[in-house]
Amino acid sequence: MPPPTLDQVIFPEQANHNFSRILGDLKRSNLSISNRLKSICHDAAFVEDVADALKLPLVANERCGSWYIDPARKAGSAYFKSTDGHTGQWKFSLRRLNLHLLELIGERDGCIIVDSTRRGKRMPDALSKTLPTWCAVLNLALFPSDTESHTLYTPPNTVSPSESSQISSLLPHFLSAFLSLEIDLAPLRAHLKNKPLRPFWITQEDSLPLAAEGLAGIRAEYHPVVCCTSSRRVTGSTEVAEGGYIQGAGDDTENWALGLTSNVFWRWRGVLRDAAEGELPGLIEGLVRDAREEEEERRREGGGQGEVREVVKGRGLFVGVLGAEVGDGACVVRVVPRVTERGEWVKGKGYLEVGVGKGKAASRLLRDALPQVCEFVLAYLRRPEMDSPSEKKVVVLCESGKDLSVGVALAVYCWCFDDDGNVRQDDKKVSFNKAAIRVRLGHMVTALPEVNPSRATLQSVNSFLMDWRK
């Protein structure tokens, strides 16, 4: 009698459950924190090799990019979203303009933007489509007569000719939206010294000597913006076959990092890399706790958390984190991470403490808080002793210094100042549309690129400013 074939073998149901559990355990073990940290170290070494070969500064595409760059070599941060490059959803972000990169690019004749992507992809959409679109739009705006620089360049081994053509057809629309922000283009053009931008791509599959040679040819006419995908592409195999290597290991940190940040990782990377898997949770918990305590100590010794930053040039409007040094005579609005009664918000003649809580709930509650905040600030700005513009100083503070405080500052900028930048003196109803609000936000993003109000925060600001009932 011949032996049974595989399709004739019947496994008991319990065996099937055990087999599935074993496979799940195996996958989780290979996606361990230890393997992730070792993979990040491996990819970070490649990024350093790229910087050494191309002689260009490293810029992290946040949040993921910072895991692959030694802070000692990090020249800056960028915010190019992959979702803005997803097929059929192409966008030129008016909220993340990244114009601060132009000064660095002009000074160093280019830069390297570092990012990574999940398993199976050659490069992230942020580098293959979002950033090339950004380069093309800025070239159109800054160098309108240089028609050769207006071409959209995309990596041919990643983006199909059809998709590239579809994105190209949207460039006039993106340009119009960018120009509607009414940003002064002369300083931006001066940063680039009359040389347009040109994207250039590099991955671990590429030869660095050949890349350096190709870059030399581009530099004669363009500033190269090198899109560096830090992680090696993994396809058609498991992490077991890859020796535990994880593509895009620095991504989705909220799901695996246990509170570990890129800065803490780089400070203690040798200790973390050499620790056994079972030791890592406790080790990370201790390092994160120590980092927080050190930050608290610096805050106590320094009396604050750094300086406030002017978010609208020449308007005396500043943002910062709670605890920042403010100085005397300013109107201070503190947006605190707890909910408090509205009647308790006014703490003094020029001091308002707004308690709206944390997270998305705080962004939603902000809508109802903004009328009182803006009227409070407007009353301060109209005080007789505030006639001199140099004496006006409004400081808005929040936990991050980048979200709620920026939303409040945007509302104040729109509500309290007219189109000429003067304090509004009449009591006529103020009415805005999204385009006008976007222009004011563009001024703020240009002045302080790292501001990053959430979508929920901006929705609250828009709702307040466009509400016909005011």
pLDDT per residue over 160-180, tens digit each? 999 999 999 999 999 999 999
Q: Which of 330, 356, 331 is nearest to 342 (CA)?
A: 356
User: If pLDDT is split at 50, 70 and 90, which confidence band does 421 have?
Assistant: confident
For residue 213, which of 228, 200, 203 has the smallest C-alpha distance?
200
CA–CA dist 333, 331 (Å, integer):
7
Show the DSSP H helices in 382-403 as ranges: none
Picking from 163, 154, 159, 77, the residue whose alpha carbon sits closest to that of residue 121 is 159
CA–CA separation, 91 and 181 (whole Å) = 16
**More confidently predicted of 192 and 432:** 192
Q: Please report which confidence band the pLDDT of residue 31 belongs to, taking 50, 70 and 90 as the band edges.
A: low
What confidence category does residue 49 fall into, taking pLDDT thresholds of 50, 70 and 90?
very high
pLDDT bin (cut points 50, 70, 90) of residue 253 is: confident
pLDDT above 60: residue 28:
no
pLDDT of 308-333, one tens digit each? Answer: 888 888 888 999 888 887 877 889 99
Q: 325 in helix, strand or coil?
A: strand
Are 404 and 451 contacting, i.e. CB atoms less than 8 angstroms apart?
A: no
pLDDT reading at 144 higher than 80: yes
The whole-chain average pLDDT of the chain stands at 86
Q: What is the pLDDT at residue 26? A: 39
* Bigger pLDDT: 470 vs 84: 84
Provide the pLDDT for residue 394. 93
pLDDT band at 455 (very low <50, low <70, confident <90, very high): confident
- Please tell me the distance from the alpha carbon of residue 58 to that of residue 68, in angstroms, as a whole number: 10
pLDDT of residue 164: 96
List, for residues 367-400, the tens digit of each pLDDT value: 999 999 999 999 999 887 655 555 678 999 998 8
- pLDDT of residue 118 exceeding 80, the answer is yes
Give the Cα separation of 51 and 58 in Å (integer). Answer: 7
* Structure tokens, 193: 């010294």
| Position 65 confidence tier, pLDDT thresholds 50, 70, 90 | very high
Gap between the Cα atoms of 373 and 396, Å rounded: 10
- 220 in helix, strand or coil? coil
The residues facing 310 across adjacent strands are: 318
Q: Decide if 415 contacts 430 (C-beta within 8 A).
A: yes
Average pLDDT score over residue span 418-443: 83
Domains present along the chain, CATH in parentheses: 30-257 (no CATH), 309-466 (3.90.190.10)
Contact 308, 326 (CB under 8 A): yes
212-243 residue pLDDT tens = 998 888 898 999 999 999 999 887 655 555 67
